[in-house]
Amino acid sequence: NAGVTQTPKFQVLKTGQSMTLQCAQDMNHEYMSWYRQDPGMGLRLIHYSVGAGITDQGEVPNGYNVSRSTTEDFPLRLLSAAPSQTSVYFCASSSSLAGPRDEQYFGPGTRLTVT
């Protein structure tokens, strides 16, 4: 059981480039989400999904796209990278069967730098 995996671990982009951060989980969790963590701050929700084919915006969605074609995968696309998107990105998943105490399982994070 690998849990939540994220690739790549590190990435450097130039302004204007696009890329996709990968997130996969093998726990058959319905819920998945993407957060960003800026230096010295807490996590902020970018996008989330309650199941395959269903996504919605979080607190800071601008500049990012998501799709959820399978239960396992939830990629995050940066359309045109900007220095303000320099951050650590965390993917998380949780199960609807957990009830209110829905512990979120976090991936190890992707550290992105945009120059």
Partner 1 sequence: AQKITQTQPGMFVQEKEAVTLDCTYDTSDPSYGLFWYKQPSSGEMIFLIYQGSYDQQNATEGRYSLNFQKARKSANLVISASQLGDSAMYFCAMREGLAAGNKLTFGGGTRVLVKP
Q: Is residue 55 close enough to count as binding partner 1 by CB under 8 A? A: no
**CB-wise, 9 or 14, nearer to partner 1?**
9
**CB-wise, 85 or 110, nearer to partner 1?**
110
Q: Residues 13, 21, 48, 76: which binds partner 1 (CB under 8 A)?
A: 48
**Three-state DSSP class for 98?**
helix
Measuring CA to CA, how many Å separate 55 from each of 16, 32, 38, 46, 58?
25, 9, 23, 11, 10
Block residue for tokens 């690739």: 7
Q: Is residue 99 close enough to count as binding partner 1 by CB under 8 A? A: yes
Q: Is residue 11 close enough to count as binding partner 1 by CB under 8 A? A: no
**CB-wise, 17 or 105, nearer to partner 1?**
105
Q: How far is the CB of 50 from partner 1 (least distance, A)?
A: 7
**Dist CA 17 CA 9 (whole Å):** 18
Tell me if 98 sits within 8 A of 72, measured CB to CB.
no
Q: Is residue 59 close enough to count as binding partner 1 by CB under 8 A? A: yes
Q: Is residue 98 close enough to count as binding partner 1 by CB under 8 A? A: yes
Q: Quick one: residue 46, left, alpha or beta (phi over 0 = left, psi -120 to 50 = alpha)?
A: alpha
Q: Residues 45, 52, 60, 82: which binds partner 1 (CB under 8 A)?
A: 45
